[in-house]
Amino acid sequence: KKRKGGVFPLARKIGGGDGRTRCTGPKKKRISKSKKNTDVSMLKSRIEEDLKMAQKTGDSRRRDTLRLLLSVIGNEEIEVRAKKKEELGEDDFVRILQKEAKKRKESIAAYRTGKREDLAEKEEVELAIIGEYLPARMPESELKKIVEETIRAIQPESPKEFGKVMAEAMRKVAGRVDGGVVKAMVEEHMKKEK
């Protein structure tokens, strides 16, 4: 069948069993999503589905917290696209959640200092909800093993290489430990190595 203007579509020839040649349409390329983007969509989809459920059940605190998380994630995605970088990966997603969790912890401490228990409790509820989407916390024994192995692999010769050890250790813990905890352990073990 001709297209408008009498131009045939791009075709490829396939030999039939009867010896004749047949024309088919252009071969479609299979588009595969990278694992990185799939992970992100799964994590984001989970929050979106939980938001729908919260709306149905009338859980206003969960609904508002999840809306906020999706808003923050959306803003990060817009910023990444504007800079023409790769799509957000799972590590980026965890980083966003950790940042939001840290904000809640700081607010809780501030409200308790100001004797605003009602506001502190509200922040604690939000913190608990955010925590449901964060990776399981890493046991101290596992963190210690990672730090020791990292130091042995890098073999830092001076405190100036602390940043290099810290960066590698943070990469390995993949968001399962607070940065302050990792920093303290790296410092402690680097002193022992002297």
Per-residue 3-state assignment (H helix, E strand, C coil) for the chain: CCCCCCCCCCCEEEECCCCCEEEECCCCCCCCCCHHHHHHHHHHHHHHHHHHHHHHHCCHHHHHHHHHHHHHHHHHHHHHHHCCCCCCCHHHHHHHHHHHHHHHHHHHHHHHHCCCHHHHHHHHHHHHHHHCCCCCCCCHHHHHHHHHHHHHHHCCCCHHHHHHHHHHHHHHHCCCCCHHHHHHHHHHHHHHHC
Question: Where does the pLDDT of residue 125 fall: very low under 50, low under 70, confident under 90, or very high at 90 and above?
Answer: very high
The more confident residue out of 176 and 79 is 79
| pLDDT above 90: residue 11 | no
What average pLDDT score do residues 33-53 get?
Answer: 70
What average pLDDT score do residues 82-88 get?
Answer: 76
What average pLDDT score do residues 104-132 get?
Answer: 94
Q: pTM here? A: 0.62
Give Cα separations from 8 to 15, 20, 56, 174 (angstroms).
Answer: 19, 19, 53, 54
| pLDDT above 60: residue 78 | yes
What pLDDT score does 194 carry? 61
